[in-house]
Amino acid sequence: MKLTREDKLKVLLTEIEELIQFILECEEHFSEKIQQVHPKYVESAKNLVYYQALKTKKLNNLQKRLGNFGLSKLSESEAHIMASLRTTRAIILSMLNEKITFPKHSLSFKKSRRLQNKNTKTLLGYRSKGRRTRIMVTLPTEAADNYQLVHNLIQNGMNCARINCGHDDKTEWQKMVDNVKMASQHLQKKCKISMDLGGPKIRTGKIAKDAKVIKVQRSTNILGKEIKSIQIFFGEQTNDSELPSIPLQNYNPDFIKENDELTFTDVYFKIRKIKVKKMDKTGFIGEITKTTFFETGFPIKIDNSHQFFIGELDEKRKPIFLQENDILLIKKEQVEGRRATISIENEVENPAYISCTAPQIFAMVKVGEPILFDDGEIEGIIENLTSEELKIRITRVPLKGGKLKADKGINLPKSDLHLPSLSEKDKENLPFVLQNSDVIDMSFVNRSQDVSELLSILETENIERQIGIILKIETVSGFENLTEIILEAMKIYPIGVMIARGDLAVEVGWDKIGRIQEEILSICKSAHITSVWATQVLENLAKKGIPSRAEITDTIMAQRADCVMLNKGPYIIRAINLLNTILKNMKIKATALKPMQD
């Protein structure tokens, strides 16, 4: 039987009332945790619980039916869940000709906006005139000795200076802090100081200085096109010409003559031809037509029965070159990594190996789990493991092969890792950070216990001034446990969340990062806490001086956050200026579309 309009409204009314009752029951379930939060976060903690409760319900059908009546679909209600539900309930009652009085809410629409703005101001300071979103900038090492750079950053719109404690040392950090304070005072613009604790970042270890390699590259024209071959002197000793020189071992001029074509397989397994152009008493002049990497000990074949070898070259630290299906060993012992050794027959005698900075992961990973290096540039799978070594089968590399360097990030997105969020180095740096910063950035927050550890330390320090905390979410665990993490962090005021999109994208997958960063923004909005949009914002502009179109679109999306973080680069002032302009333009657009209010 077809329902009448009145019947449909009554059904909607019942569903709304059931939702209100459901989220109140959820509040009761979290009552103990809500009671423990800072007084300024009580209403926000309740609203966060309400939001998470609604997420467990399938509301698509309800939202559609509400929309059919011109009612709020609850899709923009994150910041004021109860007010939206009760207002919707009141409107439905009025449509049913019931006498109603619109309810007063402890967390109204207007109050939720004011609360969000106040919390952000407390954490990150005043916004710049003409825009809502703050700008945070990671200071380069240069900022320690270049006061003018810091002055220009603040003058052009930086609201918060971020110091990465994973780089430099306390001497440089102190100089940066002093320069920020001096420039702020001179410009009469308050700039907060945020110090980033590195956390348990898993990185590749050092690489041995055993790569005795010379790169010989053809010259190019103004378009970057290689236009001619290059000549090299090969011999037992260097010659007097200005040609590049490659020393030889076991050289015998009796086996070669002019115009012969010699075969050579270089460091990156590329087969190269060397044409003999001119013979010399101690060697010969050869010609190559492609960029070639020569390494000590590599053979140059004359024919099937004769060859000689590259002589001793200077040592360099060269990356480990990897191709699909290669084997890479990760050593628990902190040894310097080495590239694979190749036989004369071009077969791998010993696979490449490298250490990692977190040997405790060897007891936490399993065979078959994926592993990623260098922000996901290189992918592999754990094929075998022992207590001292992981055997990795490389499954994906860039088109021209992967070059794995020292100090590059390692991600294990499917592994159940239990690493402390505060490393020993972080604990050593914490007294300095507490004394000199306004905000602590806590990296790799995976569970509420990580926050509890930091809060315990802060409690014992007896800090007299207000210290804010930014929780960096960069793992699957951090995202999945975000509600519990925020409720625990709400014991202190103020707090914020950084969407660290670099590691997070690698962890969750490129296909999911868009949805997940949106969800984190919604969670922050429901808790009225500051959101920071970070990683690769205008990075091409900051580093190379020209933005990509995708970066501009990303920046426009970023203005929904309370703060946008820029990374360091030689063109960082240009990046700040463009970001400042974009954010101001978006603020004007939002204001123009905003309905008039009494």
Beta-bridge partner residues of 233: 245, 285
The whole-model pTM stands at: 0.81
Whether the CB-CB separation of 479 and 520 falls below 8 Å is answered with yes
User: Closest Cα partner for 48 from 560, 478, 532, 485?
Assistant: 485
Domain 122-200+419-536+559-567: CATH superfamily is Phosphoenolpyruvate-binding domains (3.20.20.60)
Distance separating alpha carbons of residues 522 and 248, to the nearest angstrom: 65
Whether the CB-CB separation of 45 and 72 falls below 8 Å is answered with no
Give Rg (Cα) of the chain.
Answer: 31
Domain ranges, ordered by start, for the chain: 5-107, 122-200+419-536+559-567, 213-310, 320-411
Distance separating alpha carbons of residues 217 and 215, to the nearest angstrom: 6
Q: Which CATH number fits domain 320-411: 1.20.1070.10, 2.40.33.10, 3.40.50.2300, 2.60.40.420?
A: 2.40.33.10
Whether the CB-CB separation of 458 and 467 falls below 8 Å is answered with yes
End-to-end C-alpha distance for the chain, whole angstroms: 45
Whether the CB-CB separation of 49 and 30 falls below 8 Å is answered with yes
pLDDT tens for each residue of 481-501: 999 999 999 999 999 999 999
Whether the CB-CB separation of 46 and 23 falls below 8 Å is answered with no
Query: Strand 292-295 vs strand 245-249: parallel, antiparallel, or unpaired?
Result: unpaired
Distance separating alpha carbons of residues 189 and 333, to the nearest angstrom: 49
Strands (E), 444-518: 468-473, 495-500
Q: Residue 310: which residues within 8 A CB-CB, separation 6 or more?
A: 246, 247, 248, 249, 294, 295, 296, 297, 298, 299, 300
CATH of domain 213-310: 2.40.33
Distance separating alpha carbons of residues 383 and 391, to the nearest angstrom: 6
Whether the CB-CB separation of 75 and 63 falls below 8 Å is answered with yes
Distance separating alpha carbons of residues 522 and 142, to the nearest angstrom: 37
- 424: tokens are 């020993």
Same CATH topology for 122-200+419-536+559-567 and 320-411: the answer is no
Per-position pLDDT tens, the chain of length 598: 788 999 999 999 999 999 999 999 999 999 999 999 999 999 999 999 999 999 999 899 999 999 999 988 888 899 999 999 999 999 999 999 988 877 777 888 899 999 999 999 999 999 998 899 999 999 999 999 999 999 999 999 999 999 999 889 999 999 999 999 999 999 999 999 999 998 888 999 999 876 577 788 766 554 555 557 788 888 876 666 678 888 888 888 888 889 999 988 887 788 889 999 988 778 888 898 888 888 888 888 888 778 888 888 877 677 899 999 999 999 999 999 988 887 777 788 899 999 999 999 999 999 999 999 998 999 999 999 999 999 999 999 998 889 999 999 999 999 998 888 898 899 999 999 999 999 999 999 999 999 999 999 998 887 767 899 999 999 999 999 999 999 999 999 999 999 999 899 999 988 999 999 999 999 999 999 999 999 889 999 999 899 999 899 898 888 899 999 999 999 999 999 999 999 988 765 555 444 434 3
